[in-house]
């Protein structure tokens, strides 16, 4: 079968390729979720931040193990808490962002706010994968790569809010800072609960 007939005979293959391109685009530019007008499966988008937070707390556990003999069972537990809590906290943060934007007259669908916050964790995930590789060479990586990842998460959030709130210059930095603060508090709460 030659290539020109495939477009006619293989529409499923073309649709899959287009879907993959769209997913990659959204992961590299998550703020476009707020303006592309498409329906997103926010509950699937939340898998990315759950994975990112799991990687972060895995690195914290590995750093603690290296420094003070932290038990492997607690490393697994800490990673699992990061996985579940990352899903829930990002979900709640997306709801909060959507509600605050509505208060300021920028009506966006709730699922778009959740998807924007969730897909903003792409850069954090990349950073934490690099941090995990760095950790395997015996270096502490959780704070450095976790902080870089958290800051990289806020830029697409800021960009998306700024695009939605043209004319309201204070709202984007304030909301992005609030979201960053929520993530930092979440980070500390998980570490302070006695694990």
Q: What is the pTM of this model?
A: 0.81
Band (pLDDT 50/70/90 cuts) for residue 20 is confident
Q: Identify the domain containing residue 70 by its residue range.
A: 3-192
Average confidence (pLDDT) over 110-122? 84
Tell me: the pLDDT tens digits for 43-101? 888 999 999 999 999 999 998 898 888 899 999 999 999 999 999 999 999 999 889 88
Domain tally, the chain? 1
In angstroms, the Cα distances linking 22 to 81, 111, 154 are: 31, 17, 21
Q: Confirm if 60 and 191 have CB atoms less than 8 A apart.
A: yes
């Amino acid at each position: 079968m030659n290539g020109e007939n495939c477009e006619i005979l293989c529409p499923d293959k073309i649709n899959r390729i287009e879907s993959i391109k769209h997913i990659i685009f959204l992961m590299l530019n998550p703020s476009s979720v707020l303006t592309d007008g498409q329906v997103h499966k926010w509950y699937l988008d939340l898998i990315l931040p759950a994975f990112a937070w799991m990687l972060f707390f895995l690195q914290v556990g590995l750093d603690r193990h290296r420094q003070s003999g932290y038990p492997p069972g607690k490393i697994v537990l800490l990673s699992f808490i990061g996985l579940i809590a990352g899903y829930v906290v990002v979900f709640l943060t997306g709801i909060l962002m959507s509600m605050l934007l509505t208060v300021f007259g920028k009506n966006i669908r709730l699922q778009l706010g959740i998807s924007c916050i969730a897909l903003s964790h792409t850069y954090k995930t990349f950073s934490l994968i690099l941090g995990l590789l760095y950790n395997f060479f015996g270096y502490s990586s959780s704070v450095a790569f976790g902080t870089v990842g958290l800051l990289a998460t806020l830029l697409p959030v800021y960009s998306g809010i700024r695009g939605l709130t043209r004319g309201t210059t204070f709202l984007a930095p304030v909301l992005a800072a609030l979201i960053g603060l929520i993530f930092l508090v979440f980070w500390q709460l998980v570490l302070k609960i006695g694990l």
